[in-house]
Amino acid sequence: MEHNIEDVPTALITGGARRIGACIARELHAAGMRLIIHYRQSRAEARRLQEELEAVRPASVALVQADLLDTAQLPRLLEQSLAVFGRIDALVNNASSFYPTPLGTATLAQWDDLLGSNLRAPFFLMQAAAPALRTTHGCIVNLIDLHAQRPMDQYAIYCAAKAGLASLTRSFARELAPEVRVNGIAPGAILWPEHAIDDAEREQILERVPLRRPGSPEDIARTVRFLVCEAPYITGQIIAVDGGRTTGV
């Protein structure tokens, strides 16, 4: 069945140019959605991803640049996104900062960065996107973390931010119902951090995972696709994609 182009659902993905964000973009694009891919500094990666996806379906991907730490830019980011395709059906809050802040060394700049990217920006993006999502009876998916529930040593600020995002997910699910669904995904060991982590530490982490292996970005992307496209009666939930790690210690 052919659809009017104006009826094609559209997803806005923050931090969608690389790593898990790019995998989510590929998955939602394969599901037939148009995409608005946000990036901050990864313009080259965003452009390559756009070219890759538009080789499959022309004029289906737009790029928007913004620094999510600049809260004043967020309403404009939504305005730019709506101007491209005229609608937003899904907001995927994927962009995140992640690094340790050991007690006694943490700075205000680190606090502002980690809370800003993981909590403040998703809040104000959800607030800005709410009218458009109500119009389309759309949804929000927030990328959280299993460590929102089980804090990790030396990552207190990051874990607190993700715990806050988990709470926001449930709160917005109630406040935006019945028109908009809001859910979260809590990844476990999916992609190893970009900062150094040695083999012994990786093995120690995997020993606590019942499936005894890391997951893949595709595991997260498929769960996003499920929540966006196939779960009309699910809201206010946070799905752990962690190989069973949260079932134990």
Secondary structure, 3-state, the chain: CCCCHHHCCEEEECCCCCHHHHHHHHHHHHCCCEEEEEECCCHHHHHHHHHHHHCCCCCCEEEEECCCCCHHHHHHHHHHHHHHHCCCCEEEECCCCCCCCCCCCCCHHHHHHHHHHHHHHHHHHHHHHHHHHHHHCCEEEEECCHHHCCCCCCCHHHHHHHHHHHHHHHHHHHHHCCCCEEEEEEECCCCCCCCCCCHHHHHHHHCCCCCCCCCCHHHHHHHHHHHHHCCCCCCCCEEEECCCHHHCC
pLDDT digits (tens, 9 = 90+) for 62-85: 999 999 999 999 999 999 999 999
5-247: CATH topology:
Rossmann fold (3.40.50)
| Average pLDDT value over all residues in the chain | 92
pLDDT digits (tens, 9 = 90+) for 29-51: 999 999 999 999 999 999 999 99
Catalytic residues: 158
Residue percentage of the chain with pLDDT more than 70? 92
Q: What is the mean pLDDT of residues 102-122?
A: 97
Domain layout of the chain by residue ranges: 5-247
pLDDT given at position 198: 66
